[in-house]
C-alpha cells in the first residue's frame, strides 16, 4: 500500500510540474505569458453568475466519482464551454474537487451527497461542488507557491487547479468550491 501511495504521489508531482511548464510556455489569451489567478474564501452561499444550466447530486462513494466526472466533462465539452484540447485539464480539476468533497468534506460517508451545479454567463462558466462537511480553514492549506508543498501528501490540489482555472473560490467556509474559467466558445469566437 505504501509503495502504491508513493507511486501515486510521484505521478501527481510529475503531472503538476508538466502542466505548470505547459502553462508557462503557452501565451494567455491576452498575449501575456502569465495569467491572473484568483483564490478566495467567501462567506455565505455561492451566488452563481448568469444561468444555472445543470444540477445533480451524487453519493460520496468513490465508485460514483467517475460517473460524476464523466457526466460533467461531457456536458462542458459537448456545449463547447471547454475545448477538447482542454478536456484533460477539466477532468484533472474535477478529480481533485470531487475527491475532496467526497473524502474530506463528507468523510467518505456514502449516506452524504455532493451537489454539483454549472452556471454560465456570456463570458465564463462556473462549476460548484458542495459537500455536507463543516468546511476548512485556508490556514490549514499548504502554500501552493512553496515548492516544498509538492512533497506533501495533501494540499497539491489548489496548485494543480490554478494551473488551468481563472479562479477558485470557496464558499460556506470551504464546503462549496467554485471553479471558474472563460468559456472556450467565447474565446474562439472573439480571439
CA dist., res. 45 & res. 190, Å (int): 32
- Per-residue pLDDT band at 144 (split at 50, 70, 90): low
* C-alpha cell of residue 181: 474559467
**CATH code where residue 121 lies:** 3.30.565.10
CA dist., res. 188 & res. 86, Å (int): 13
- Per-residue pLDDT band at 41 (split at 50, 70, 90): confident
Query: What is the mean predicted confidence (pLDDT) over 112-134?
Result: 97
* Boundaries of domain holding 107: 35-190
Question: In the chain, how many domains are there?
Answer: 1
In a domain, 123, yes or no: yes
* pLDDT at 56 > cutoff 60: yes
In a domain, 158, yes or no: yes
In a domain, 13, yes or no: no
In a domain, 1, yes or no: no
CA dist., res. 113 & res. 106, Å (int): 8
pLDDT at residue 162, rounded to an integer: 84
CA dist., res. 56 & res. 144, Å (int): 30
Smallest CA-to-CA distance from 133 within 170, 102, 175 is with: 175
Amino acid at each position: 500500500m505504501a509503495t502504491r501511495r508513493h507511486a501515486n504521489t510521484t505521478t501527481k508531482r510529475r503531472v503538476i510540474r508538466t502542466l505548470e511548464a505547459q502553462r508557462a510556455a503557452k501565451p494567455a489569451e491576452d498575449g501575456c505569458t502569465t495569467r491572473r489567478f484568483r483564490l478566495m474564501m467567501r462567506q455565505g452561499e455561492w451566488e452563481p453568475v448568469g444561468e444555472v444550466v445543470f444540477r445533480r447530486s451524487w453519493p460520496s462513494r468513490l465508485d460514483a466519482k467517475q460517473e460524476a466526472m464523466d457526466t460533467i466533462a461531457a456536458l462542458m465539452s459537448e456545449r463547447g464551454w471547454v475545448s477538447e484540447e482542454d478536456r484533460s485539464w477539466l477532468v484533472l480539476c474535477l478529480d481533485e474537487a470531487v475527491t475532496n468533497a467526497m473524502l474530506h468534506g463528507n468523510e467518505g460517508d456514502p449516506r452524504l451527497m455532493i451537489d454539483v451545479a454549472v452556471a454560465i454567463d456570456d463570458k465564463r462558466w462556473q462549476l460548484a461542488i458542495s459537500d455536507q462537511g463543516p468546511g476548512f480553514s485556508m490556514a490549514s492549506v499548504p502554500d501552493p507557491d512553496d515548492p516544498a508543498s509538492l512533497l506533501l501528501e495533501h494540499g497539491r490540489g489548489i496548485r494543480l487547479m490554478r494551473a488551468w482555472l481563472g479562479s477558485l473560490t470557496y464558499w460556506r467556509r470551504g464546503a462549496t468550491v467554485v471553479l471558474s474559467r472563460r468559456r472556450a466558445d467565447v474565446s474562439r469566437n472573439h480571439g
